[in-house]
Amino acid sequence: MGGKSGPSNNQMVQFEMQQAQEAKAKENKRQARLDQGKAAIDSLFGKENFGDNFYDKYRVNELNYSLPQLHQQYDTAKNAMTYDLARAGTLRSTAAGYAQALLEGQNAVNEGGIRAKADTDTAALRNSIASQQQQAYNQLYATEDPTVAANTAANSVANAQLTQPNTGALGDLFKPIAIGLGSAIAPAYGAQQANAYLNAPSGRQQGSQTNTA
């Protein structure tokens, strides 16, 4: 007896094979997009864009903010020291050389500290940009793989924070150098003299003395 054979599952097998082929093609496209996206991010955040010029601008501005304050304090301390030495009559002495060396040493250390801070802060800026790059990568992978999207979104809350430099006043950077007994008591003496002058009775009051000379 002829007639039809049993039900064919060729169509089902072909469908499964087609599905496998489509999945493979889709995966190839996905990998190509990942490669392309990563290359674009690498280029975007690469040295040709975010190079030393970008970061130097930040470092120089921080120094432009902090160093003038140091220089001003240095000038003030140097002037005060010069006047104190002159008042003590020791401007041309070994003690003057010692005091001057001490001041210069403090100045150098302070300037070094400020420059080191600016450099560290610039490194923080680099980290901040690197964090942006990392987030861009995460978003690329999340776009191409929905299962990581939720994790990426959760992580993006803990995103880049730039540690800002201390923008307040630097405080007293130079320790006062006591020069001579005169300089040590000068403020108190000056205050006493000023009070004596202000408290002196005026000429129009009774009992005042008039200079007739």
Q: Within 13 Å and on the Cβ side, how many CA atoms surround 170?
A: 20
Q: Which is nearer to other proteins, 169 or 213 (CB)?
A: 169
Tell me the closest approach of the beta carbon of residue 104 to other proteins, in angstroms.
23
Q: Is 111 in the site for other proteins (CB under 8 A)?
A: no
- Rounded to a whole number of angstroms, the CA Rg of the chain reads 38
Q: Is 173 in the site for other proteins (CB under 8 A)?
A: no
Q: Which is nearer to other proteins, 21 or 93 (CB)?
A: 21
Interaction residues for other proteins, span 127-146 (CB under 8 A): 128, 132, 135-136, 139-140, 142-144, 146
Least Cα distance to 26 among 18, 36, 38 occurs for: 18
Could you give the C-alpha distances from 148 to 21, 27, 32, 124, 131, in angstroms and in order?
25, 16, 18, 28, 18
Q: Is 93 in the site for other proteins (CB under 8 A)?
A: no
Degrees to nearest 5, angle at CA 41 with 38 and 44: 150
Which of 21, 28, 31, 64 contacts other proteins by CB under 8 A? 64
Q: Is 125 in the site for other proteins (CB under 8 A)?
A: yes
- The footprint of other proteins on this chain (CB under 8 A) covers a number of residues equal to 58
- State the burial class of residue 99 (Cβ atoms within 10 Å of its Cβ: 0-12, 13-18, 19+): buried
* Residue 46, token pair as written in the block: 């690469």
Q: Which residues bind other proteins (CB under 8 A)?
A: 1, 3-9, 11-12, 15, 19, 22, 26, 33, 37, 40-41, 44-45, 49-50, 54, 57-58, 61-62, 64-65, 68-69, 125, 128, 132, 135-136, 139-140, 142-144, 146-150, 152-153, 156-157, 159-165, 167
